[in-house]
Each structure stands twice: as structure tokens, then as C-alpha cells.
Amino acid sequence: MSGAIRRSLAASGSAVRLVLRASFKASPGLAGAVIVVALVEAALPVGLAWTVRTLVDGLTAHDTGRIRLAAIAMGVVGLCWVGAQWVSMTSQTVLEERTDHWLEQRLSGLVHEMPDLSVVESPDFQDRVFTLAGRPRHLVGSITTIIETVALAVRFGAAAVLLAFVAPVLTPLPLLVLLPVLASMRAEREISSMLDDISAPMRAARMLFLAGTEPGPAGELRQYGMTGAVADRQDELLRTADRRQRLARLRTGRIMTIGWTLFAAGVLLLLWLSRDDPGVRSGGVVFLLAVLAMQLVAQAEQAATTFSKLSRLSTILERFTWLERLVEQSGDRHSGSATAPAGLRHSIELRGVTFRYTPDGPPVLDDVSLVLPAGTVVALAGHNGAGKSTLVKLLMGLYRPTAGQILLDGVDLVTLDHHSVRERLAAGFQDFCRFELPAGDTVGAGDLPRLGDREAAAGALTRAGSADVIGRLADGLETPLGRSMPGGALPSEGQWQKLALGRAMMREAPLLRVLDEPTASLDAESEAALFAGCLEVGRADAAVNGCVTLLVSHRFSTVRTADLIVTLRDGKVAEVGTHEDLMATGGWYATVCTMQAADYA
């Protein structure tokens, strides 16, 4: 057996295990019942062949006893057949639906459980999840496929035993079915490698389609007259995918033709070899062979289809297993068992932290050592691409350092349970999320146990200097937001940002509150209110538990009010000190600060 076929069979084996696990998790009773009924159903064709033989032999020998026995057996087989079909049809459909649901939920659960954001952001991960998304639908019928496979094996085994008794020379006949089956498995491997091949162009085409339909990019594409070019590129990508698909289908067609030709040749050869076998002379045996031969051809076709479905299933499930393993490994790497402390006494420290997005990529942060003292407001500045947002995400535990450590009061972040750490952090991200929910929930999501607490949401917006946003919504905090909500209001960019800032203020006295470029979409008045609010909250929280407030900003009128200013340059710490310290050294900070002050003057 070739290595490829062996791998195919091994993959099918793990697919069977995973589907059985999914089916039994989804509905143990139904899964058990479906399997038992399917096995009974599988044995029935052989029972039928035997009753036909008994009937014909009874008729030839004028043996009333045998004819009566055959008639009763035929009635029993028929009844069992109808009963088994009815039970399997109704219960299989319900089981398939439940299994499908279980797998869909598992898939989204796995993607959301992945703690390492740098993995989720990687194109390889996105390509693989893209080929998986929506595929659980393809798994509908997966349990049926497996049952059919087992049933076929039972049928072929029983047919071989029967033939061994009545016409030994024909015993290998059922084995010939392996030829189209192996061909179909080979063909399926072609299809699955083609699916891998087309996932990148298909994902790119999908992104171009979305770019043309989503409000922001759609406007820009029209403005620059790029819609034609985008449509052409999308067309080119789809054609590439289509070409690869057609070539793969041609190859699979060729493989299947070879499999079926060999099968037909094998059947003819065996029949020719059995022409003088005394075992095939009785009328009953000729009928039995005719029934078996008809069943064999039908079942060979079914077996080829079933095994090709099984191979397809194994490709999809192999990705599930890959994702499960990745999440498990990433979870292990990310999470210790100790609970995060409620407060900080000394500092949050980065010690020799280096970070690369990909193992062979350049370091985005290079040997960064930095102490953020407990109870301070720290400002982080630097030119575009210096690594500020990356550093923020490392501090939030969303990425893991490639080298070095992040310490909370001297305790390495990796030794702490990441769920407990996240519960003690608050953040307003640069690429904030527009949660399309009632406005109160959009803010309340910043502290899930208080999601529906409107008083807390209103307080958080006030602390963020953003209370005015609610006055502009028809139903205040109850106003549904976004296109996906019926009658949803459409907040402006700045209003969305204010809601996100309110979210960042929901948790009281976290260990670290990060505000990454929180004013990009705000007007000057709102910006001033926000910073005043942030400083007040930062200092109040600092007094409670030593919370560190980290503010990333390009606006130095605000940065200057921080207790400590850090500037980054090309992934390294360039300057650290108070506004006065940095102005005195006359470095990059002093230059930009003076320039901005002159612009405002």
C-alpha cells in the first residue's frame, strides 16, 4: 500500500473518531441508536440473497418446507428493511443537525479561545480558518457517511462469506470494490489540495468584494476611480481559482476512470475463471450470484462515493484537529495558574523584551527594558510604526514576547492565568470595535458582569468626558446602534470612539488602563474633556490600587501632563523622563513638542 493511501486511511480513521466524538457529544442516545439500526440494515441484503437462493432451490426441488421457510424469511427481511429505513431516516436527520450545530459552535469557540492574537492575525491562520468556515455544513451527513462505510464493510464481508460457501472461486469478487474506492480516495486528495491552493485567492477576492460594499472603503474606491481595477483584480483572482479547480477536476476524472476500468476488468476475469466451477451450477446459486452481482455494482458505486465523502471529511476534520491542537498549545504557552493580583505595589516592567510577528520577520520591538511605576500616568510617543501599539498588546497579554519578560510587581505575566489578568485590565484600542448593540451594552461590554448596568455605563462615559454622546441618541443608552440592529442609529466615527472610551472606563481600579490614540476621531473640545477625565480617573485609581495609566498619543499638549514620558524609535526605547527632563535633553521629543506648540500658537 502506498504511503499516500496509508496516510489517507489514517486521516479517514481520525475523521471517523472525531465525527463519532462530535455525534456522541451532540446526542449520545441518538448516535447509539443510529449505529445499531444501520448495522442491522447493512446485514439485510445478504439475508435477502440467502432467501432468494432458498426460494429458487425450493421451487426447483418442489420442496414445500423450503419454499415456506423462504417466504417467511422474505417477509421478516422486508419488515426489518422498512422499519430500519424509517428509524434511520428520521433519527439520522436529527442527529446530523445536532452534530452540525455542535461542530459550528466548536469552530467559533476555538477561534475565540485562541489567546495569541499574533497567531489569529497571521495570513496562514486566516487562510486555514477561511477554508474551514462554513464547512461544518459539509459535515451534515458525516455520521451517515461513517455509518454507510461501516455498513458497506459489513455487506462486503457477508457477501464474501456467502460466496466462499457457494462458489469459492468468486470469493475475491467483493474485494474488487477496493479499486474504485482507492481511486476515489486518491481523487479526493487532489480536490483537497486544490482547496488549499485556492483558499488564498478566494479570501483575497472576498476581501475585495467587502471593500466595494463597506461604507468606508467603498467611498474611497469610488473617489479614486478604483472600482474598475478592483473588479478586474477580483475577476483575475476568481479566474485563477477557477482554473485550478478545473485542472483538479480533470485529474480526478482521469483517476476515477482508471479505477472503474480496473474494477470492470477484474469482475469479467473472475466470472470467466468461474465458468467451469461446479458450485455455480445450481439454479439457486445462479440467482444468488445475479442478486449479489447487481448489489455489488450498486454498492461499488456507493462505496466510491462514501469513501470520497470520508476523505473530504477527513480534510475538514484534520483542520479542526489542527485548530484544537493550536489553541491548546497556545493556551498552555499563554497561561499560568496563579491569579493576577488586585493591585500593584511597585511596577509593571518590561525586561529585555523582543517581539517578532513571524519567526523569520524583523524584530518590531528590540530588547526593550522599561519600568512603569505603580500609580503613574505614563505617555508613550514615537513616530508611525515605532512599535507603540505592539507594546500595548504585549502588556495586555494579547501577544507573547519572542524573548524577555513582562513582570507585574516582579511576577512574570506567563505564570499568571491569562483570564484573571485580562479581568484586571482595561483598554481603549486604536482599532476599537463598533459593537452593534444598544448603546448602554456597547459601553457596558467593558465589564461584562455589569453589561446591563446603565448607571455604571453612564458613569463610565462621564469619566471618559464623553457623556454628551448619549444626549444625541434618540433613546439614550437604550438606542440600538449600527446597521445590523433594526432601526439602529448610525453614530459618527467620533461618537463610536467616545463609546469605546466609555467602555475603557467601565472597570474600576484595574492594574493597567491603556488608551491607545484615544483622540484620533475627537474634536478639540472632546479631546480636552477626555484627557482631563483620564488624568482624574488615572490618579483616583492609582490611589486605590496603584493602577498604571498608559496613554499612547501623538498630541504632545496632552503627553506633557503625564508623570513619565517614553518615546520609542524603531522598536527601541529612545527617551524616558518627565516633560521637563526630555525638553532639557533636546532630543526627538523636544523637537516635535516645540514644533507642535508653534503650530498651535
CB nearer to ligand ATP: pick between 305 and 430? 430
Among 97-105, 214-222, 322-330, 378-386, the segment contacting ligand ATP (CB under 6 A)? 378-386
CB nearer to ligand ATP: pick between 52 and 552? 552
CB nearer to ligand ATP: pick between 375 and 387? 387
Characterize the bridge pairing of strands 572-577 and 564-569: antiparallel
CB nearer to ligand ATP: pick between 213 and 384? 384
Per CB under 6 A, which of residues 415..444 are in contact with ligand ATP?
Answer: 430
Among 197-205, 306-314, 381-389, 467-475, the segment contacting ligand ATP (CB under 6 A)? 381-389
Spell out the residues 6+ positions from residue 314 whose beta carbon is closer than 8 angstroms to its own: 8, 11, 12, 14, 15
The single residue among 22, 386, 530, 565 that binds ligand ATP, judged by CB under 6 A, is 386
Do 307 and 213 touch, CB atoms closer than 8 A? no
Quick count: other Cβ atoms within 10 Å of Cβ 261?
13
Task: Tell me, residue by residue from 313 to 352, as one string, x for binding to ligand ATP by CB under 6 A and - for no binding.
Answer: ----------------------------------------
**Does residue 356 touch ligand ATP according to CB under 6 A?**
no
Task: Tell me, residue by residue from 164 to 203, as one string, x for binding to ligand ATP by CB under 6 A and - for no binding.
Answer: ----------------------------------------
**Does residue 364 touch ligand ATP according to CB under 6 A?**
yes
Among 95-103, 268-276, 379-387, 471-479, the segment contacting ligand ATP (CB under 6 A)? 379-387
CB nearer to ligand ATP: pick between 121 and 475? 121
CB nearer to ligand ATP: pick between 95 and 379? 379
Spell out the residues 6+ positions from residue 88 whose beta carbon is closer than 8 angstroms to its own: 34, 37, 38, 41, 147
Nearest-approach distance from CB 208 to ligand ATP, in angstroms: 20
The enclosing H or E element of 85 equals helix 64-113
Closest CA to 502 of 450, 555, 554: 450
- Please tell me whether residue 307 adopts helix, strand or coil conformation: helix
Euclidean distance between CA atoms 433 and 470, whole angstroms:
18
CB nearer to ligand ATP: pick between 21 and 555? 555
Closest CA to 12 of 182, 129, 254: 182
Nearest-approach distance from CB 179 to ligand ATP, in angstroms: 49
Euclidean distance between CA atoms 309 and 138, whole angstroms:
9
Nearest-approach distance from CB 255 to ligand ATP, in angstroms: 40
Nine cell digits for residue 97: 443537525
Task: Tell me, residue by residue from 387 to 416, as one string, x for binding to ligand ATP by CB under 6 A and - for no binding.
Answer: xxxx--------------------------
**Does residue 385 touch ligand ATP according to CB under 6 A?**
yes
CB nearer to ligand ATP: pick between 184 and 389? 389
Nearest-approach distance from CB 119 to ligand ATP, in angstroms: 10
What's the order of all strands across the beta sheet hosting 572-577? 425-428, 512-516, 548-552, 377-382, 564-569, 572-577
Nearest-approach distance from CB 95 to ligand ATP, in angstroms: 41
Nearest-approach distance from CB 388 to ligand ATP, in angstroms: 4
What is the sign, positive or negative, of the torsion defined by CA atoms of 569, 573, 579, 581?
A: negative
Among 71-79, 219-227, 253-261, 383-391, the segment contacting ligand ATP (CB under 6 A)? 383-391
3-state secondary structure 498-529: HHHHHHHCCCCCCCEEEEECCCCCCCHHHHHH
CB nearer to ligand ATP: pick between 382 and 440? 382
Closest CA to 574 of 401, 386, 394: 386
CB nearer to ligand ATP: pick between 364 and 512? 364
Among 86-94, 169-177, 377-385, 486-494, the segment contacting ligand ATP (CB under 6 A)? 377-385
Q: List residues bridging with 569 in a β-sheet.
A: 572
Do 229 and 290 touch, CB atoms closer than 8 A? no
> For the purposes of burial, counting CB atoms within 10 Å of the CB of 224, is it exposed (0-12), middle (13-18) or buried (19 or more)?
exposed
CB nearer to ligand ATP: pick between 53 and 393? 393
Spell out the residues 6+ positions from residue 452 whose beta carbon is closer than 8 angstroms to its own: 440, 441, 444
Q: List residues bridging with 405 in a β-sheet.
A: 351
Do 24 and 103 touch, CB atoms closer than 8 A? no
In 395-460, which ranges are E strands?
Answer: 403-408, 411-412, 425-428
Nearest-approach distance from CB 495 to ligand ATP, in angstroms: 22
Total number of residues binding ligand ATP (CB under 6 A)?
12
Among 278-286, 384-392, 415-423, 489-497, the segment contacting ligand ATP (CB under 6 A)? 384-392
Among 31-39, 103-111, 330-338, 382-390, the segment contacting ligand ATP (CB under 6 A)? 382-390
Per CB under 6 A, which of residues 112..131 are in contact with ligand ATP?
Answer: 121
The single residue among 64, 213, 223, 384 that binds ligand ATP, judged by CB under 6 A, is 384
Nearest-approach distance from CB 559 to ligand ATP, in angstroms: 13
Among 104-112, 283-291, 385-393, 573-581, the segment contacting ligand ATP (CB under 6 A)? 385-393
Q: CA 118, 120, 125 angle in degrees (round to 5)?
A: 115
Per CB under 6 A, which of residues 449..488 are in contact with ligand ATP?
Answer: none
The enclosing H or E element of 14 equals helix 3-26
| Single-letter code of the amino acid located at 29 | G
What's the order of all strands across the beta sheet hosting 403-408? 365-373, 347-355, 403-408, 411-412
Q: List residues bridging with 380 in a β-sheet.
A: 552, 566
Task: Tell me, residue by residue from 536 to 575, as one string, x for binding to ligand ATP by CB under 6 A and - for no binding.
Answer: ----------------------------------------
**Does residue 501 touch ligand ATP according to CB under 6 A?**
no
**Does residue 382 touch ligand ATP according to CB under 6 A?**
yes
Nearest-approach distance from CB 548 to ligand ATP, in angstroms: 18
Phi and psi, residue 277, nearest 5°: -70, 125
The residue ranges that bind ligand ATP (CB under 6 A) are 121, 357, 364, 382, 384-390, 430
